[in-house]
Amino acid sequence: MSRRLLVATMLALAAVASPLGADSLPPAPTELGSIRRNEQGKLEVVRPPLTTPAVAATPVEAPVVGRAGSQPPSPDGKPATVASGRTIVVGEREQVRSISEAARLARDGDTIEIRQGEYRRQAVVWMQDRLTIRGVGKRPVLVAEGDSAEGKALWVVRSPQMTIDNLEFRGARVAAGNGAGIRFEGGHLKVVRCAFFDNEMGILTSNAADAVLEVEDSEFGAAPRHAGALHHLLYAGTIARLKVSGSRFQQGHLGHLIKSRARESSILHNLLVDGAGGSASYELEFPNGGVAWVIGNIIGQSATTDNPVVVSYGAEGERWPDNALYLAHNTLVDDTPGGRFLQVWSERLPAATEVWTINNLLVGRGIFVPQGPGRHDGNHSVEVATLLDIDGLPFVLPQASPLRGRAKAPGFARGRSLAPTAEFRLPATTLPLPPGKPLSPGALQ
Query: Which of 252 and 245 is assigned the larger pLDDT?
Result: 245
List, in sequence order, every residue forming a beta bridge with 165; answer none if it has no partner. 134, 192
Report whether 132 contacts 166 (CB < 8 A): no
User: For residue 215, is pLDDT > 80?
Assistant: yes
pLDDT digit string, tens, across residues 121-167: 999 999 999 999 999 999 999 999 999 999 999 999 999 999 999 99
- Nearest residue to 173 via CA among 229, 216, 239, 215: 229
Pairing of strands 393-396, 388-390: antiparallel
Question: Mapping DSSP to helix (H, G, I), strand (E, B) and coil, where does residue 285 land?
Answer: strand
Q: For the beta carbon of residue 63, count every other beta carbon within 10 angstroms.
A: 9
What would the mean pLDDT of 7-26 be, rounded to a whole number?
A: 36
User: For residue 179, is pLDDT > 50?
Assistant: yes
pLDDT digit string, tens, across residues 66-124: 233 333 333 344 333 344 589 999 999 999 999 999 999 999 999 999 999 999 999 99
Would you list the domain boundaries of the chain? 207-445
Q: Cα 391 vs. chain centroid, distance in angstroms? A: 24
pLDDT digit string, tens, across residues 47-62: 443 333 333 333 334 4
Which residues lie below 8 Å from residue 431, measured CB to CB, with a gap of 6+?
Answer: 422, 423, 425
User: For residue 433, is pLDDT > 90?
Assistant: yes
What is residue 305's predicted lDDT score, i.e. its pLDDT?
79
- Nearest residue to 199 via CA among 245, 157, 159, 230: 230
pLDDT digit string, tens, across residues 315-366: 999 999 999 999 999 999 997 878 899 999 999 999 989 999 999 999 998 8
Question: Mapping DSSP to helix (H, G, I), strand (E, B) and coil, where does residue 385 land?
Answer: helix
What is residue 278's predicted lDDT score, i.e. its pLDDT?
73
What would the mean pLDDT of 214-238 be, rounded to a whole number?
A: 92
Report CA-CA distances (Å) from 206 to 133, 150, 169, 260, 434: 21, 14, 19, 11, 38
Query: Which of 240 and 337 is assigned the larger pLDDT?
Result: 240
pTM (whole model) above 0.85? no
Helices vs strands, H then E, count in the chain: 2, 40
User: For residue 65, is pLDDT > 60?
Assistant: no
Question: Mapping DSSP to helix (H, G, I), strand (E, B) and coil, where does residue 338 land?
Answer: coil
Q: From CA 239, how far away is CA 188, in angstroms rounded?
A: 11
Scanning 198-298, the segments in alpha helix (DSSP H) are none
Q: Dihedral (C-alpha) 313, 314, 320, 325: value to the nearest 10 degrees?
A: 30
Which residues lie below 8 Å from residue 292, measured CB to CB, with a gap of 6+?
Answer: 260, 264, 265, 267, 286, 313, 324, 325, 326
User: For residue 406, is pLDDT > 80?
Assistant: yes
- Angle, vertex CA 333, rays to CA 329 and CA 336, nearest 5: 150
Which residues lie below 8 Å from residue 241, measured CB to CB, with a gap of 6+?
Answer: 212, 213, 262, 263, 264, 265, 266
374-379, Cβ contacts within 8 angstroms, sequence gap of 24 or more: 374/324, 375/411, 377/408, 378/407, 378/408, 378/410, 378/441, 379/441
Give φ, ψ of 7 to 5 degrees.
-65, -45
Q: Where does residue 156 rank: exposed (0-12), middle (13-18), buried (19+ CB within 10 A)?
A: buried
The alpha carbon dihedral of 164, 169, 174, 179 has a sign of positive
What is residue 84's predicted lDDT score, i.e. its pLDDT?
59
User: For residue 170, is pLDDT > 60?
Assistant: yes
